[in-house]
Structure 1
Amino acid sequence: MARIVFVTVGSTRFDRLVAAASSPSFLHLVHQLGYSHLTLQHGNSPIPPHTLTTPSEHAHLTPYSYKPSLHEDMENADLVISHAGSGSILEALRLKKKLIVVVNEDLMDNHQQELGSALHEQKHLVCTSVSGLEETLKAKEYDSLIPFPEPDPTRFANFLDARLSA
């Protein structure tokens, strides 16, 4: 059975993550860790030309720019590597996926770092930088993550009740 890594950069450019995830050394590492396929949603970032053919000792790379929904790719993945956008993070966590979040350090006012770090501290995901991605993958910290809690639709109502009755 195929084991799949899904990498997503969302709707913005994240050239450094695309280059790292499609590099021969990364594809070889993914293969060594037992994954046979890497699906890469690269958005507007270019795919380096040398990555379009993958040797047999590398995970098979399937790149695409956009789809109407990433849900199916996330659902089929054994490991998700994502930019730190809140929508992508929440979808992967709700699907109970092993999740590595890579913060785009080139963004201004980097709220993504805050979100990734907070969820990393709670052990729901592993947060790293592009330069630390291969080491993070090798460390396999993502194998011991704590599942994200199911949403509780009564929390907000209970909060309001408590505040209004005080």
Structure 2
Amino acid sequence: MGDSGDSVKQEKKVVFVTVGTTLFDALVRTVDTKEVKQELLRKGYTDLVIQMGRGSYTPTKCDGGHGSLAVDYFTFSPSIADHLRSASLVISHAGSGSVFETLQLGKPLIVVVNEDLMDNHQSELAEELAERKHLYCAHPQTLHQTISDMNVESLLPYPSGDATPLAKLMNTFLGFPDD
């Protein structure tokens, strides 16, 4: 075998952060804080990839290395699905597209609610899914605590392919009668 240092080299565990097409500097700024990065490291994550959308806040790039998280970012990408697929954890805004794409891939998910949005049907949806244990729901100021407390093993898989519960949920939020 010899000592090739393989035991030290841990596998990449990527945290992918997405704000979709929204402006959500509060989320980007939060994942760029020392508190959040330390919690992610403590949980065994190695890389942080941030899709920052139209935000004006630029996160700090870092190559990783000794006891630090490798951080990279971009604004938009045609291949968000690839990023989601290669992620070990997804931290997303509450947009239903990002949320359901992530759940269908069976990835652990923390949805961060954007308090600056007036119409917060999205956060109601996220909170409902969090109650059903499909994801974690956080606010920018509680994100590090959510990461600290989360146990991704305890999340329940989202029943993929069955849109009925989802349709019912959406109708409830939009005020349509349940037929």
2:61–2:70 CA contact under 8 A, matched in 1 = no
Identity fraction in percent: 42
Instruction: Write out aligned runs for 1:1-166 (5 A).
Output: 1-48=11-58, 51-53=60-62, 56-152=66-162
2:62–2:69 CA contact under 8 A, matched in 1 = no
Structure 1 residues 54, 131: CA separation in 2 closer, same or farther (over 3 Å shift)? farther
> Matches of 1:54 and 1:20 in 2, distance apart?
19
Please report the RMSD computed on the Cα atoms of aligned residues, expressed in angstroms: 1.7
Report the TM-score, using the length of structure 2 for normalisation.
Answer: 0.80
Deviation at 1:54, TM superposition (A): 5.8
Number of residues of Structure 1 aligned to a counterpart in Structure 2? 153
Deviation at 1:143, TM superposition (A): 2.9
> Matches of 2:96 and 2:42 in 1, distance apart?
30
Deviation at 1:142, TM superposition (A): 3.2
Report the TM-score, using the length of structure 1 for normalisation.
Answer: 0.86
1:126–1:141 CA contact under 8 A, matched in 2 = no
Q: Which SS does the other structure have where 1:131 is aligned?
A: helix
User: Which residue type is aligned with residue 32 of structure 2?
Assistant: S
2:15–2:91 CA contact under 8 A, matched in 1 = yes
Deviation at 1:82, TM superposition (A): 0.4
Structure 2: 5+ residue runs without aligned partners? 1-10, 165-179
**1:98-131 Cα distance to aligned partner (Å, 9 max, x none):** 0100010110121111110110111111111111
> Matches of 2:68 and 2:36 in 1, distance apart?
8
Structure 1 residues 58, 28: CA separation in 2 closer, same or farther (over 3 Å shift)? farther
Deviation at 1:53, TM superposition (A): 3.7
> Matches of 1:21 and 1:73 in 2, distance apart?
17
Structure 1: 5+ residue runs without aligned partners? 156-166
Deviation at 1:79, TM superposition (A): 0.5
